[in-house]
């Protein structure tokens, strides 16, 4: 259907069907429906949202920054992120999630004709949702002064699948960091999202400290060193996760770390729920204020030696409850209070206490 000029003295428009010799009249409102605007106005039918994705379903992010390639992918559990290129390691799940959400909300500032000058698309990002990939090419920041002497900052961009050029707000470039370390997990141990630690064991100079989680009782225990009932389960749990979440100071080369690991500070073992095998780690002796550990195969991290030495302890006082007694109130049926001069006893009857 081709729509022509307006009918003189009327509210209709001329129209014709391809291959037909007849002419037709169509109502004014139908003409508005049939005509799509591509003038960057509010009626522009072109999609303003750059990526047509659902962040939770994105399973890969591939970025290029001036030729520096970074490939991020979800693991088999469909939630945990890993860096694939230029090296394989656990990624920072929270950071990658925030980046994907930010990309999912990027909107076109303005659709434009292809610029006369050559555009260098220094940046590109591809978001993969299941099997579908959407790639965006982005220039560096462009600064232009308009006729009212106002400075405008923007980036040229286009979707790789289409030739249409448009502009973007320059804050999209904040997510592009040409260093894979920026995207890596920055804790001593980096389990998967579904990995629930249930046992942590520290061994130093033959002394073993074993912390285990009782799923049925829903509490942590240190039975190997504390037989008293006056244990602070929360203090034990906090201690376990202080080890798991110890911040990484920096990532290390294999040569530097292997050299430091020739002398050992302690062995660390971790086990996760529904697994029988342990994950075994070794922390090196202090070297230049750092201790080194191989977190994954050929992936080495360095943590503060001061923090490790401060955290490691064989003193169990920190795991004791601050309560004088740890007896459930509803299980007490007799109390005796004594001094050198006298003793008072109280027994609980049917629903009240009796001095005896």
Any idea which of 67-71, 177-181, 315-319 has the lowest mean pLDDT? 315-319
Model-level pTM greater than 0.85? no
Sign of the C-alpha dihedral computed for residues 171, 175, 179 and 182 taken in this order: positive
Residue 323 has pLDDT above 80, yes or no: no
Question: CB–CB of 130/74 below 8 Å?
Answer: no
Q: What tokens does 4 get?
A: 């022509």
The predicted-structure confidence for 280-306, as pLDDT tens digits, reads as follows: 999 999 999 999 999 999 999 999 999
The token pair that represents 250 in the structure block: 């920096």
Mean pLDDT, all residues of the chain: 89
The percent of residues in the chain predicted with pLDDT above 90, rounded, is 60
Would you state the pLDDT for residue 324?
65
292 and 304 Cβ atoms separated by less than 8 Å: no
User: Per residue in 101-144, pLDDT tens?
Assistant: 999 999 999 899 999 889 999 999 999 998 899 999 999 999 98
Mean pLDDT of 61-86: 96
340: Cα within 13 Å, side-chain hemisphere: 0
CB atoms within 10 A of CB 207: 10
Q: Are 100 and 74 in contact (CB under 8 A)?
A: no
∠ CA 242-243-249 to the nearest 5 degrees? Answer: 95
Average pLDDT over residues 169-194: 96
Q: What is the pLDDT of residues 339-351, one digit of tens each?
A: 888 888 988 887 8
The average pLDDT across 37-59 equals: 80
Distance (Å, whole) CA 46 – CA 107: 11
Identify the pLDDT of residue 301.
98
Task: Pick the closest to residue 355 from 338, 347, 343 (CA basis).
Answer: 347
- Residue 271: name the closest of 259, 262, 280, 263 by CA: 280
- CA 54 remoteness from chain centre: 16
DSSP letters along 143-182, please?
EEE-TTS-EEEEEEEEETT---EEEE-GGGGGG--S-GGG
Helix, strand, or coil (residue 287): strand
Give 39's pLDDT tier (boundaries 50, 70, 90).
low
Per-residue HEC secondary structure of 202-271 comes to EEECCEEEEEEEECCCCEEECCCCCCCCCECHHHHHHHHHHHHCCECCEEECHHHHHHHCCCEEEEEEEE
* pLDDT value, residue 225: 65
Mean pLDDT of all residues in 225-233: 68
pLDDT at 37: 67
Tokens 């508005």, located at residue: 32
Which residue would you say has higher pLDDT here, 330 or 197?
197
pLDDT at 217 over 70: yes
Q: Look at residue 335 and tell me whether its pLDDT is greater than 70.
A: yes
Backbone torsions φ then ψ of 226, nearest 5 degrees? -125, 115
Structure tokens at 321: 């409850």
Q: Which long-range contacts (CB under 8 A, 24 or more apart) does 192-196 make?
A: 192/75, 192/77, 192/79, 192/80, 192/90, 193/77, 193/79, 193/80, 193/93, 194/77, 194/79, 194/80, 195/272, 195/273, 196/272, 196/273
**pLDDT for residue 328:** 73
In the structure, what pLDDT confidence band is assigned to residue 268 with cuts at 50, 70 and 90? very high
> Would you place residue 38 in the very low, low, confident or very high pLDDT band (cuts 50, 70, 90)?
low
Residue 222 or residue 56, greater confidence: 56
Of the listed ranges 30-34, 85-89, 135-139, 310-314, the least confidently predicted one is 30-34
Band of pLDDT at residue 229, cut at 50, 70 and 90: low
Examine the pLDDT at 191 and tell me if it is beyond 90: yes
Position 25 confidence tier, pLDDT thresholds 50, 70, 90: confident
Mean pLDDT check: name the lowest of 10-19, 191-200, 292-301, 316-325: 316-325
Choice between 235 and 73, residue whose per-residue pLDDT is larger: 73
With 0-12 CB in 10 A as exposed, 13-18 as middle and 19+ as buried, what is 278? middle
- The structure tokens listed for 283 are 């922390």
């Amino acid at each position: 259907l081709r729509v022509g000029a307006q009918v003189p003295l009327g509210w209709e428009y001329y129209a014709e069907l391809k291959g037909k010799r007849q002419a037709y009249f169509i109502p004014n409102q139908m003409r508005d429906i049939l005509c799509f605007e591509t003038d960057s106005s509010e009626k522009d039918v072109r999609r303003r949202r750059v990526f047509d994705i659902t962040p939770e379903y994105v399973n890969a992010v591939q970025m290029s920054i001036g030729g520096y390639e970074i490939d991020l992918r979800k693991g088999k559990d469909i939630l945990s992120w890993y860096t694939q290129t230029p090296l394989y390691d656990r990624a920072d799940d929270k950071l990658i999630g925030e980046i994907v959400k930010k990309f999912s909300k990027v909107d076109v500032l303005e659709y434009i004709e292809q610029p006369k000058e050559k555009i260098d698309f220094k940046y590109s990002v591809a978001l993969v949702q299941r099997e579908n990939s959407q790639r965006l090419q982005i220039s560096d920041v462009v600064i232009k002064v308009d006729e009212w002497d106002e400075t405008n900052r923007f980036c040229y961009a286009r979707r790789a699948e289409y030739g249409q050029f448009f502009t973007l707000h320059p804050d999209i470039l904040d997510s592009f960091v040409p260093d894979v370390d920026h995207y890596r997990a920055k804790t001593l141990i980096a389990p998967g999202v579904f990995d629930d630690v249930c046992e942590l064991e520290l061994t130093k100079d033959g002394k073993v400290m074993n912390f285990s989680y009782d799923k049925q009782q829903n509490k942590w225990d240190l039975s190997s060193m504390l037989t008293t009932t006056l244990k602070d389960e929360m203090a034990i749990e906090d201690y376990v996760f202080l080890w798991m979440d110890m911040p990484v100071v920096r990532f290390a080369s294999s040569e530097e770390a292997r050299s430091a690991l020739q002398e050992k500070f302690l062995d660390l073992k971790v086990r996760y729920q529904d697994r029988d095998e342990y994950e075994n780690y070794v922390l090196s002796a202090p070297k230049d204020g750092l201790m080194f550990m191989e977190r994954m195969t050929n992936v080495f991290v360095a943590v503060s030696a001061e923090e490790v030495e401060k955290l490691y302890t064989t003193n169990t006082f920190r795991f004791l409850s601050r309560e004088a007694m740890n007896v459930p109130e509803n299980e007490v049926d007799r109390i005796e209070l004594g001094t050198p001069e006298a003793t008072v006893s109280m027994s609980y009857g049917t629903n009240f206490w009796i001095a005896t």
